[in-house]
């Protein structure tokens, strides 16, 4: 019970502290020292109370000696700020009369019917297949050995020859300078 202590969601800080002390009183031979008990309690309380205890301890509650830590817990439990405001609020909603309840029920039934009877919508677009009627033909393109469309060559690729010196761009530059048909402009 002590090792798995946690504050309940609707439990105030003071009630959690009193319950934890009751566990210690009921199980006097629990075997935990005072520091372990304080750490177990601190780990089991709501994070907002952990922040409050840390703030009251100049940043870290776990660095306090047991006597100081117990005093901080007792002070927080005695203060009014330890009330659990989320669960102690009064319900301010007005009660609905029978006519209003019937109206709400009718609207809910309408929404239910809309959801149940809705039709599925398909957003996929149908694809039409077009065939060429103009008699155009396709032509194979061969990229093996650097040949492209209609046997045209791309780049300086010369095939996979054993003489690697000829494939070297630096070595071939002087030899292939005019092979493209480009003649540099000379000033004569």
Q: How many separate domains does the chain show?
A: 1
Give me the pLDDT at residue 49, please.
92
In a domain? residue 29: yes
In a domain? residue 92: no
**How far is 11 from 84, CA to CA, in rounded Å?**
7
Rounded mean pLDDT for each run of 10 residues along the chain, 188 residues in total? 87 92 87 90 92 90 91 87 53 66 88 77 67 64 56 53 50 51 62
In a domain? residue 47: yes
Give me the pLDDT at residue 114, please.
80
Query: Taking the model in full, what pTM does it have?
Result: 0.44
**How far is 90 from 4, CA to CA, in rounded Å?**
32
**For the purposes of burial, counting CB atoms within 10 Å of the CB of 23, is it exposed (0-12), middle (13-18) or buried (19 or more)?**
middle
Can you give the residue range of the structural domain that contains 22? 13-87
Express each pLDDT in 41-67 by its tens digit: 999 999 999 999 999 888 889 889 999
Express each pLDDT in 76-92 by its tens digit: 988 855 565 555 444 44
In a domain? residue 138: no
């Amino acid at each position: 019970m002590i090792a798995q202590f946690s504050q309940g969601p609707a439990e105030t800080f003071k009630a959690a502290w009193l319950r934890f002390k009751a566990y210690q009183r009921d199980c006097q031979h629990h075997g935990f020292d005072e520091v372990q008990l304080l750490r177990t309690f601190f780990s089991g309380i709501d994070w907002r109370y952990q922040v409050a205890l840390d703030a009251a301890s100049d940043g870290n509650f776990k660095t306090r000696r047991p006597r100081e830590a117990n005093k901080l817990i007792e002070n927080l439990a005695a203060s009014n700020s330890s009330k659990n405001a989320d669960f102690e609020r009064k319900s301010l909603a007005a009660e609905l009369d029978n006519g209003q309840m019937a109206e709400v029920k009718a609207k809910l039934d309408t929404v239910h019917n809309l959801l149940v009877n809705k039709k599925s919508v398909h957003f996929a677009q149908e694809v039409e297949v077009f065939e060429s009627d103009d008699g155009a033909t396709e032509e194979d393109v061969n990229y093996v050995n650097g040949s492209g469309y209609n046997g045209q060559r791309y780049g300086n690729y010369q095939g996979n020859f054993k003489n690697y010196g000829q494939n070297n761009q630096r070595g071939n530059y002087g030899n292939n300078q005019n092979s493209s048909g480009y003649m540099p402009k000379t000033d004569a």
